[in-house]
Amino acid sequence: MNDNLHQLHCFGCGARIAGPEALPDFRCAECGDLFEVEYPGWVQRKGPDRPNPGALKWLWRERKSSSELLDQSGVWRFRELLPILDNFGNAVTLREGNTPLYHLTRTSKALGIDQLFAKHQGMNPTGSFKDTGMTAAMSVARERGFTWVACASTGNTSAAMAAYAARAGLRSLVLIPDGKIAWGKLSQAMDYGAVTCQLKADFDGCLTLLTQIVKEAPIYLLNSVNPYRLEGQKTPAFEIAEAFDWNVPDHLIVPGGNLGNSSALGKGFRELHELGLVARMPRISVIQAEGANPLVRSFEANHGASLEPVEAHTRATAIRIGNPASWRKAARVIQDTGGWCLDVSEAEIAIAKAELGAEGLGCEPASAVTLAGLKKLVKQGAIAANETVVLVLTGHTLKDADYTIDFHSGTLLTDEEARGREREIEALRRNAVVVDATPAAVLATLKGSAG
């Protein structure tokens, strides 16, 4: 399984090509759709040549205590399922992955679900799930001799790409929508040395322009249209299965922006199932913001058969995407696993984020759509009390500190957005108060605090 015998499979027309043939924009020349990495050797191997599930599980567990750099990565620890490099010595890693799986005790009790967990991908080196994909795609870029890499971004991708490019000794270009990115994320790209251009366009416009640029210059595109990104992003599925002793949860709930993450996680669980490492797949559901919900509208209109782009508006900047590139892949994952696709309001996102914070788990707003969506699914009777649920938290709370401050100071939501939820919001707010510098004043504040 260590042989680099992968190929790229077009999701639209079924064409199969070698990896380098997909450059520069990773879209099929025949139909314009995206590619997916596949490993035909896995299917062809029979009998003793078939990978032994028990041996792989033992190997991956043993690597957790290894001092080797690749073994300390939660992506490359599973490298037998990522044969995308000719030489694993070309891997670029910051010890990404191996992120914690937290039991949400307070939220479990509130919702009546005993087995509720959060897989916190915000605990990666640059603070988001994008690191797991970036280590894989950046390694391919370095192995193929590129000196420049680039991405369009709402924030997290730019931070991850710039960091991994710096680590690999490559130059990086970032295109971001002007005024529509959290400053915490932009500061990371700058700190890691990226050439950063703010464009008077939304994310989709930035990506369109970048697609034109990579056709004119030898620059390696590192958005999630790059299928190697999704190979790294599938590995949290392996970590989740491993954490449950190679069982899988009944439900996995994922935020929906450009939809590469839900696509990747579905691919990861599917490969585990095909290789006999797990007995089944979880139901995978995707949650979007009401103001950036093209996939939700697609399911409502035609069961995910086609998608009409929307003009995206949400304060959850990481998922402010109106024309998601990986929508077909995500739609298939939802359909194949029996999951759901729904949207949540700005108030529901803000409340859910504060509730996760009350568990001691900070996350960026886009992550909180998972809990907001779970609450809706429970109310609809789609998820039973005895089922196991994992929420994927995609980014760290410090990615967008202004959002948190605005919520607790009461300036985040408009009166219209908060209408009907004022009491719920007020119960969660913890705004800093100014008091006299005396013990009596501080103790009086404690006495008056509802918390």
Phi, psi of 147 (to 5 degrees): -110, -20
Tokens of 106: 């307070």
Cα–Cα distance for residue pair 126/181, rounded to 1 Å = 16
pLDDT at residue 49, rounded to an integer: 60
Cα–Cα distance for residue pair 282/176, rounded to 1 Å = 34
Cα distances from 428 to residues 153, 302, 418, 449, in angstroms, run 31, 38, 13, 12
Cα–Cα distance for residue pair 136/87, rounded to 1 Å = 13
Q: Do 237 and 255 meet the contact criterion of CB atoms below 8 Å apart?
A: no
Burial of residue 109 (CB within 10 Å: 0-12, 13-18, 19+) is exposed
Give CA 406 to chain center in angstroms: 24
pLDDT at residue 166, rounded to an integer: 98
Amino acid making up residue 182: A
pLDDT tens over the chain, length 451 residues = 445 679 999 989 999 999 889 899 999 999 999 999 999 877 666 666 667 899 999 999 999 999 999 999 999 999 999 999 999 999 999 999 999 999 999 999 999 999 999 999 999 999 999 999 999 999 999 999 999 999 998 889 999 999 999 999 999 999 998 876 777 778 899 999 999 999 999 888 999 999 999 999 999 999 999 999 999 999 999 999 999 999 999 999 999 999 999 999 999 999 999 999 999 999 999 999 999 999 999 999 999 999 999 999 999 999 999 999 999 999 999 999 999 999 999 999 999 999 999 999 999 999 999 999 999 999 999 999 999 999 999 999 999 999 999 999 999 999 999 999 999 999 999 888 899 999 999 999 888 775 4
Name the residue ranges covered by the structural domains of the chain.
101-127+231-428
CATH 3.40.50.1100 assigned to 101-127+231-428: yes
pLDDT at residue 19, rounded to an integer: 86
Reduced to 3 states (helix: H, G, I; strand: E, B; else coil), residue 255 is strand
Cα–Cα distance for residue pair 174/192, rounded to 1 Å = 11
Q: Do 125 and 131 meet the contact criterion of CB atoms below 8 Å apart?
A: yes
What lies within 8 Å, CB to CB, of 196 at 6+ separation is 158, 174, 176, 186, 189, 190
Cα–Cα distance for residue pair 47/386, rounded to 1 Å = 38
pLDDT at residue 41, rounded to an integer: 76
pLDDT at residue 450, rounded to an integer: 54
Burial of residue 319 (CB within 10 Å: 0-12, 13-18, 19+) is buried
Compute the C-alpha angle 52/53/54, nearest 5°.
95
